[in-house]
C-alpha cells in the first residue's frame, strides 16, 4: 500500500491563480479530510468527506472547494489564491466501519506559497 | 469556542529521561482522545489513543493518562531517545460528531543527546 499520497510537494502561486491539490489513498478508507497547518498552530480542518459523493465544511472552508467522486481521491481546489492561503496542507484518511479506533493516516503534505 | 490546548509549547529533555507532555481540553462531551507525533517535514503519525471510559492506556514506551475531572490528558514517553524529537499533538473527538478530531496547537519535544 502506498498509503496517502499528495501532489505536488511544493507549489508557488501568484495571487488570483487557481490550482488543485491532489490527494489519493489506496486503503479503501471512508473518511478523508484536508487540513492546513500554519507556523505555531495545530492542524485546522478545511473540508472533509465521509464517503464518495458526500462532503462537508470544516473550521476554515472559505476559499476552498472539494469533491469526492471516488473513494480513493479527494482533491482540494483553491479558487483564487490569496497570500493568507500560504500554508502546509495535509490530507488524511481513516477507516471507521467496524473499528473502535479512529486513527487518521496523513499524507506527506503540500507546501504552498502564494505571492 | 471550546478547543483543545497545550500547557507547554516546548519541552527539552536529556536522552534517557522520561518526558511528560500535557494537554487540556474544555469540552466535557469529548469521549475519544488521540496523540500524534509529527517529525519535521512530515505528516502527523498516530501514537496512541484513549477513550473516556479509561484512565490509562499503555503502548510501547508511551503511556497516556486521562483525568476527566480536570479535563486533562498527558503523554508519557519512557527513556526518551533523540528519535522522539518532534511536535506532539493531542486531538479530541466529540460524541455524535464527525469522527474527524480537533487538534491542539502542539508541543515541541527536543531531546538532547
Q: Residue A70 pLDDT > 70, yes or no? A: yes
Percentage of chain A modeled with pLDDT above 70: 96
Question: What DSSP designation does A1 have?
Answer: -
Question: What DSSP designation does A22 have?
Answer: E
Query: Could you tell me the three cell numbers for B103?
Result: 487538534
Q: Residue A73 pLDDT > 80, yes or no? A: yes
Measured between beta carbons, the chain A residues lying within 8 angstroms of B98 are 48, 50, 56
Angle formed at CA B9 by CA A9 and CA A102, multiple of 5 degrees: 60
- pLDDT value at position B90? 93
The minimal CB distance from B46 to the residues A40, A58, A103 is found for: A103
- pLDDT value at position A97? 64
Considering A15-19, B23-27, B95-99, the range whose residues carry the highest mean pLDDT is A15-19
- CB contact A43 to B (< 8 Å): yes
Q: Residue A99 pLDDT > 70, yes or no? A: no
Higher pLDDT, residue B4 or A47: A47
Measured between beta carbons, the chain A residues lying within 8 angstroms of B94 are none
Inter-chain residue contact A102 with B93, CB threshold 8 Å: yes
Measured between beta carbons, the chain B residues lying within 8 angstroms of A102 are 32, 34, 49, 93, 99, 101
Residue A102 confidence class, pLDDT cut points 50, 70, 90: confident
Asked if residue A2 lies in contact with residue A18, where contact means CB atoms within 8 angstroms, the answer is no
Instruction: Quote the CA–CA distance of B79 and B76 in Å, as a whole number.
Output: 10
The minimal CB distance from B43 to the residues A44, A103, A106 is found for: A106
- pLDDT value at position B1? 33
- pLDDT value at position B97? 65
Higher pLDDT, residue A64 or B103: A64
Residue in A with minimal Cα distance to B1? A59
Question: Which of A61, A104, A110 is the best residue to mutate to test the B interface, defined by the most B CB atoms within 10 Å of its own CB?
Answer: A104
Amino acid at each position: 500500500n502506498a498509503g496517502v499520497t499528495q501532489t505536488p510537494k511544493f507549489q508557488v502561486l501568484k495571487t488570483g491563480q487557481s490550482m488543485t491539490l491532489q490527494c489519493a489513498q489506496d486503503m479503501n478508507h471512508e473518511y478523508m479530510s484536508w487540513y492546513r497547518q500554519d507556523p505555531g498552530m495545530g492542524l485546522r480542518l478545511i473540508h472533509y468527506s465521509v464517503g464518495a459523493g458526500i462532503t462537508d465544511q470544516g473550521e476554515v472552508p472559505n476559499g476552498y472547494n472539494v469533491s469526492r467522486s471516488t473513494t480513493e481521491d479527494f482533491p482540494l481546489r483553491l479558487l483564487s489564491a490569496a497570500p493568507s492561503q500560504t500554508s502546509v496542507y495535509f490530507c488524511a484518511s481513516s477507516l471507521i466501519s467496524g473499528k473502535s479506533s479512529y486513527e487518521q493516516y496523513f499524507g506527506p503534505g503540500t507546501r504552498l506559497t502564494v505571492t | 469556542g471550546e478547543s483543545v490546548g497545550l500547557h507547554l509549547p516546548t519541552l527539552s529533555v536529556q536522552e534517557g529521561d522520561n518526558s511528560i507532555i500535557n494537554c487540556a481540553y474544555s469540552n466535557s462531551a469529548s469521549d475519544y482522545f488521540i496523540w500524534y507525533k509529527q517529525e519535521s517535514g512530515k505528516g502527523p503519525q498516530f501514537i496512541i489513543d484513549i477513550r473516556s471510559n479509561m484512565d490509562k492506556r499503555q503502548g510501547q514506551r508511551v503511556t497516556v493518562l486521562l483525568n476527566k475531572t480536570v479535563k486533562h490528558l498527558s503523554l508519557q514517553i519512557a527513556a526518551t531517545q533523540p528519535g522522539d524529537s518532534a511536535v506532539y499533538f493531542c486531538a479530541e473527538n466529540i460524541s455524535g460528531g464527525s469522527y474527524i478530531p480537533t487538534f491542539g496547537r502542539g508541543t515541541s519535544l527536543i531531546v538532547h543527546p
